[in-house]
Structure 1
Amino acid sequence: MADRRLQVFHAVAKHLSFTRAADALFMTQPAVTFQIRQLEEQYATRLFERRHGSISLTPAGELAFEYARKILALSDEMDIRIGEMTGEMRGPLLVGASTTIAEFMLPRVLGEFNALYPQVRARLIVGNSESIEGQVAEHTLDVGLIEAPAKLSGLESRMCCEDELQVICVPDYPLAEFQVLRPADLADYEFISREPGSGTREITDAYFAEHGIAPESLKAQMELGSPEALKGVVATGLGFAIVSRAVAAREVALGELRGIPLDPPLKRGLYLIHPQERFQSRVLTTFIDFARRQLKEHAA
């Protein structure tokens, strides 16, 4: 119900780009420019400085942006609360998840949630843990599922379940003959690692360091941005990787890869994160409870 000009202004101020704002709002750039011009005429002041192909907020624009955020948040809250008075579960739900969770755990959870609440429009955004945490903190996402507790202030973390990681390699790789592997056993073999910022990378680095092996001393061959990419490289026989058991369950069952537990075991919690706010929509609170319950059951 918020004024359309305010929505357009907020998008331009957020992106500091008329083009990106137009894309986000599914509008043409001239239409966005027209709405901003109308708002500037209403207040008889410039809200943006335009120079050398870029824009920035004027002092009046900074003030307007602060109020726009508050007004639009209250407008969204009003829409949700009035909708909930009808007893319906409906509306958008923006879910972010780290790559491992998004690819191997969350699809089933989202499918089951949609079957129960077909009027809820869930959208999944995938990134590494660091990226998802940042987007939840910025209120770009309603809720995130990541592989460590949130570090940023203003976020609440709730542990869903425990996930065990293991070494994977091809059946004819030298490590495949081991029944269990200690950290020291891995130091002389080619390591295929996740990228910095990944929850998996963070926990494996900490695991090696805890057991007296500097992560930078490992024979790292490459850093990759997804579990599927890790499996693809490992399948060539180039080296080993450390991944969630869920990531390689199918390939291990088919005998394409060998999964070897670590000793001591390497386990981590999977966490739901969301802003610490007094108001949460019924859709969000229902999804948080549902996802925690389902992930715990699937991990058992």
Structure 2
Amino acid sequence: MNLQDWEMLSTLYATKNITHAAQSLFLSQPTLTSRLKKMEDYYGVSLIIRKRRGITFTPEGQKLAQHAKHMLKEQRNIEETLMNMKDHVAGTLRVGVSNFFALNKMPKLLHLFNQKHPDVECQVVTGWSSEMHRKLLNHEVHLSFIKGNYPWQEHKELLYEENICIAAPWPFAWEDLPSLPRIDYYTDAGMRDTIDHWWFTNYKENPYINIHVNDVETCKEMVINKLGYAILANLVVHPYPELNVKPVHSPSGEPITRKTWMYYHTESLQLNIVRAFVDFIRTMDVKNL
């Protein structure tokens, strides 16, 4: 078996769908099916069971898919070790990025970093902060940009802190909020808990939520178009001075904030590419980028 076989099997296990796996690997479905059949013949076992929708793996297939994931990880490790033996900063940097950071900060950071280190390839995965935390724990990425605090025993560095605020398209009084239309959006558990805790500390009534959207950027557009107010982090609406924005406070009067961190494993700094990127981020004014 070669590296391409392990990558094929790992991708198929992740997607549980031959069509999707083939598209991800830039292969035709017959080519993928043929390679899978050769693997089954080689080991003398059936690896998958075809269903009306997608596939399921046999116990033997699950075991081999786990081995494939291990082999791919070992390959990455040896490539990084050999690359790190050179003085030149080059190779592949794997970064996990929370959704807002990916949209508003990461493109500029990668552009500036690549100007300084043109031989670096960056593989970026985006999602909720909780997902990026999990990927870092599993060593799927070298480092992660994460909003909020998550259990972590190694290094993390604060990039910036921003106020949680009310953003509305019209002037408002605090006591009127329960009767005003609010735009709600899907977010990670930490932000959701912060918003709910603030609301029910200050109001007995449930909020009047008339629109639910999938992400904070869509929510922001709804607010700009005067469909309601929202509770979100300040940087989302900072570029829009026409909005009425007020920070929310704890019962003690302190502003409620949300922090964005760079999390990474201590051992990752042994890699030239990771050390160069961490040093680069330290020089940047990320909040005002």
**TM-score bucket (shorter structure):** 0.7 to 0.9
Shift of 1:226: 3.2
Report the Cα distance in structure 2 between the residues aligned to 1:121 and 1:242, rounded to whole angstroms. 37
Q: 1:259 aligns with which of 228, 237, 245?
A: 245
1:169 corresponding residue in structure 2: 168
Correspondence for 1:233 among 191, 201, 222 = 222
Tell me, what secondary structure is at the counterpart of 2:56? strand
Counterpart amino acid of residue 256 in structure 2 = L
Q: Equivalents in 2 of 1:120, 1:292: separation in Å?
A: 18
Partner-residue secondary structure (3-state), 1:187:
helix
3-state SS of paired residue (1:146)? strand
C-alpha separation between the residues in 2 aligned to 1:2 and 1:38?
12
Residue 33 of structure 1 is matched in structure 2 by 33
Match of 1:65, SS state, is helix
Please, what TM-score do these two structures have when normalized by structure 1?
0.79
State the alpha-carbon separation in 1 of the partners of residues 154 and 62 from structure 2.
25
Where does 1:152-163 land on structure 2 (aligned, <5 Å)?
Answer: 158-163=157-162
Q: State the identity as a percent.
A: 22
Looking at structure 2, the residues matched to 293 and 267 of structure 1 have their Cα atoms a distance apart, in angstroms, of: 23
Q: Deviations over 1:15-35 (max 9, x none)?
A: 222222211211111111121
Give the Cα–Cα distance (whole angstroms) in 2 for the partners of residues 272 and 193 of structure 1.
Answer: 27
Shift in CA distance, 54/155, structure 1 to aligned 2, threshold 3 Å: farther
Aligned to 2:194: 203
- In 1, Cα distance between the equivalents of 2:44 and 2:266? 35
Answer whether contact 2:158 2:261 (CA < 8 A) is retained: yes
SS at match of 2:256: strand
Question: Is 1:95–1:141's contact at 8 Å kept on the other side of the alignment?
Answer: yes
Residues of 2 paired with 1:223 and 1:155: CA distance?
37
State the Cα distance separating 1:130 from its structure 2 match: 3.8
d(CA) in 2 for partners of 1:203, 1:103: 22
Give, as a single letter, the amino acid of the residue that structure 2 aligns with 1:168: A
Runs of 5+ unmatched residues, structure 2: none
Structure 1: runs of 5 or more not aligned: none
1:128 to 1:69, Cα distance in 2 relative to 1, 3 A: closer
State the Cα distance separating 1:75 from its structure 2 match: 0.9
Letter in 1 for 2:165: Q
- Superposition map of 1:14-53 within 5 A: 14-53=14-53
Match of 1:194 in 2: 185
Query: 1:122-149 deviations in whole A, cap 9, x for unaligned?
Result: 2444433344445555665543322212
Alignment of 1:1-300 (within 5 A): 2-136=2-136, 141-150=141-150, 158-170=157-169, 173-175=170-172, 186-197=177-188, 200-209=191-200, 211-213=201-203, 217-252=206-241, 256-263=242-249, 264=253, 265-274=255-264, 278=267, 281-291=271-281, 293-294=283-284, 298=287
1:37 CA drift (Å) = 1.4
Cα contact 2:6–2:69 (8 A) shared by 1: no
Shift of 1:158: 4.6
Partner AA of 1:189 in structure 2: L
Contact 1:128 1:198 in 2 (8 A): no
Cα shift at 1:78:
0.5
Change in Cα spacing, 1:163 to 1:134, as seen in structure 2 (3 Å) is same
Q: Is the 8 A contact 1:137 1:154 kept in 2?
A: no
Kindly tell me: are residues 279 and 237 of structure 1, through their superposed partners in 2, closer, same or farther at Cα, counting changes over 3 Å? closer
Answer whether contact 1:2 1:75 (CA < 8 A) is retained: no
TM-score by length of structure 2 reads 0.82
Instruction: Supply the distance in 1 between the matched residues of 2:189 and 2:121 (Cα, whole angstroms).
Output: 27
The one-letter code of the counterpart of 2:162 is: D
What one-letter code is carried by the residue in structure 1 that aligns with 2:248? L
Aligned-residue CA RMSD in angstroms? 3.2
